[in-house]
Amino acid sequence: MHACETIGAATVICSDKTVTLTMNQMKVSSFVYSTLSKDQMPQGLEKDFLAEALAANSTANLMPDELGKLTKPLGNPTESALLMWVEEKDMGYLDIRNSFDIKGQLTFSTERKYMGTIGYGVIKDRLVLHVKGAPEIVLSKSSHRRSPDGQVIDLSDETREEISNALKSEQERGMRTLGLAMMTVDSKAPEFSQDDIINLISQNKLVFMGFFSIADPVRPEVPPAVKTCSEAGIRVKMVTGDNQATAREIGTQIGIVKPDDTSSGISVTGDQFMALDDAAALESAKKMSIMSRARPLAKQRLVTLLQKSGEVVAVTGDGSNDAPALNHADVGLAMGITGTSVAKEAADIILLDDSFASIVKAVMWGRSIYANIQKFILFQLTINVLALGVALLGPFLGIQLPLTVTQMLWVNLIMDTFAALALASEPPDWGLMKKSPRNPEAFIVTPTMAKFIFTVGGVFLVMFLILAIFMKNVFPMNTETAQGLHNLSIFFSTFVFLQFWNLFNARMLGRYTSALGGLGESKMFLLIVIVIAIGQILMTQFGGEVFRTVPLTFKEWAVIIVCTSPVLWVGEVVRWRQRSSLLAN
């Protein structure tokens, strides 16, 4: 409940791209070989090397569908997309993987942005190291490439630039790109540790093989959800491991940056952000909308700096490396489908559908919960002002206790139980997403609420004191005479029905529509106000000595109900004027 309330005050949402903003339905769009021939399948040994690089250097798997075909991803979606590409080419990834004798594997890391696997495969008598990862990093660690005839030749600066331009072109289309490289290793070592593989890659002698472009379409519900966040005063920042061009294109598609926005600082890389001192990083954190090539520490630093600047930060994550940011965030949201157990443990809320739209819904629910609490407090304190005022001032005016102990217990039941149920069960209001986030440090009773409590409570108090004095002078209110019991019954019923009508006004706190509108959606509220009204009538008519009441006539009930109803009608007029003023502006 604390997390639900806190997310309602969120001012910034730092969201992952994959899964949360995109559909996580990875599919290979194209393959660019090192010779820059797009979608042209290499032949012979080159084809074998390519298939081996995808099948052996992978931690994902494919599961059979209803027809027995390997089409269901199991593991990393990006790697699964590459395996499905191998299957589509009828190369059989399982056979290739099983024939590759692995001597060591370096798992993917968000810090390194690449992985590697070494072993014996196509070349039976020499070790081959396959590397896969961020294309610009793999390219920077490559010194050679494959020629059209399969020869290993130097990677010239000109060719390196051409590959970089081809990469940029794909990334600007919003594609996730993944580079491949390999090298043969002169060694007879029985096995290789992760440090051994890192050292081999760090020699920068890889042979660049090409890169894949992988499409992951944006979830259709995300752009409207981002727009709703903007209207609600919440900034959405995308934090992704993808390169800057891809991240920028996805950011444009979902609406967190404008296509023609060339402002500096809107999109930064994780390395650029980490290189800044605290003061500059704080300004960058406020200004940026996209952080690409983000590492775990960069994401955590972003969250911490935003919090220092007074923001209430919600963070999404699905991997173990997201745990620090999830833990430091005001509200951490883990993915229920793709999230790791570590991420779920570190988070406060788990999204069962992994969708960004669910985050926006959680914000709306959080705001609605807080608003419903305020409605209850408004209603209860208004009654308290009246009840305490009557009980306190009554004896000074020579009036016996206006409400008996049993009657006061019924009033407390209305305040504490029925009102809490009625107002807490109000359905969530999307209209709250048109307002700015509340200040989490602000007192729950706002100045507007305080004004309402003391104004309405004060008016009720004056009315009751005048009524009590009139009844005292004309027909003394006491339990010793029939007329006194009759006056007490009128006084008691008038007190309750004033609060009955005031419950409708409390329901509309912060809203300017009619209190009678949408009652069909608030079934619990409608049921409870009916119970209060019928319960008051039955209690008065049949309460007898227990409640110190006597039956009232139909005419008296009609007068009480009609004379107390202006509480609602005045509220309706006030809301109508506020609504008209907003429309005029």
> Which parts of 231-279 are beta strand (E)?
235-239, 267-269
Q: Quick one: how far is CA 135 from the chain centroid?
A: 31
Q: Which residues contact 297 (CB under 8 A, 6 or more apart)?
A: 274, 324
> CA 563 to CA 498: how far, in whole Å?
9
Instruction: Give me the half-sphere count of Cα atoms (radius 13 Å) on the Cβ side of residue 520.
Output: 1
Nearest to 552 by CA among 478, 483, 475, 490: 490
The span from the CA of 375 to the CA of 58, in Å, is 56
Q: Residue 526 half-sphere exposure, CB side, CA atoms within 13 Å?
A: 10
Tokens 């960058």 -> residue: 284
Quote the strand ranges of 403-449, DSSP E: none
Residue 486 neighbours by CB under 8 Å, 6+ apart: 475, 550, 552
Q: Which two tokens stand for residue 279?
A: 């003061």
CA–CA distance, 414 with 409 (Å, rounded to integer): 9
Q: How far apart are the first and last CA of the chain?
A: 37
Q: How many C-beta atoms lie closer than 10 Å to residue 341's C-beta?
A: 9
- Host H or E run for residue 335: strand 331-335
Q: Quick one: how many helices (H) and strands (E) in the chain?
A: 23, 17
Q: Active site includes 353?
A: no
Distance set, CA 49 to CA 52, 130, 181 (Å): 5, 9, 10
Helix (H, G, I), strand (E, B) or coil at 514: coil
Helices within 259-355 (DSSP H only): 270-275, 278-287, 296-308, 323-328, 341-346
Give the whole-angstrom CA distance, residue 411 versus residue 200: 79
Distance CA 543, CA 522 (A): 30
CB neighbours of residue 260 within 10 Å: 6
Q: What three-state secondary structure class fits 42?
A: coil
Among 26, 28, 32, 58, smallest CA distance to 131 is for 58
| 375, 15 Cβ separation under 8 angstroms | no
Alpha-helix runs per DSSP H in 89-243 = 93-99, 135-140, 157-171, 194-201, 222-231
With CA atoms as reference, report the closest residue to 38 among 181, 213, 246, 177: 213
Dihedral of CA atoms 143, 146, 152, 155 in degrees, nearest 10, equals -30
**How many whole angstroms separate alpha carbon 482 and alpha carbon 487?**
9
Distance between CA atoms of residues 440 and 419, nearest Å: 25
Write the single-letter amino acid at 164: S
Closest listed residue to residue 34, CA positions, set 218, 206, 280: 206
Residue among 16, 216, 242, 322 flagged as catalytic:
16
Rounded Cα gap, residues 134 and 142, in angstroms: 12
Catalytic residue positions, numbered? 16
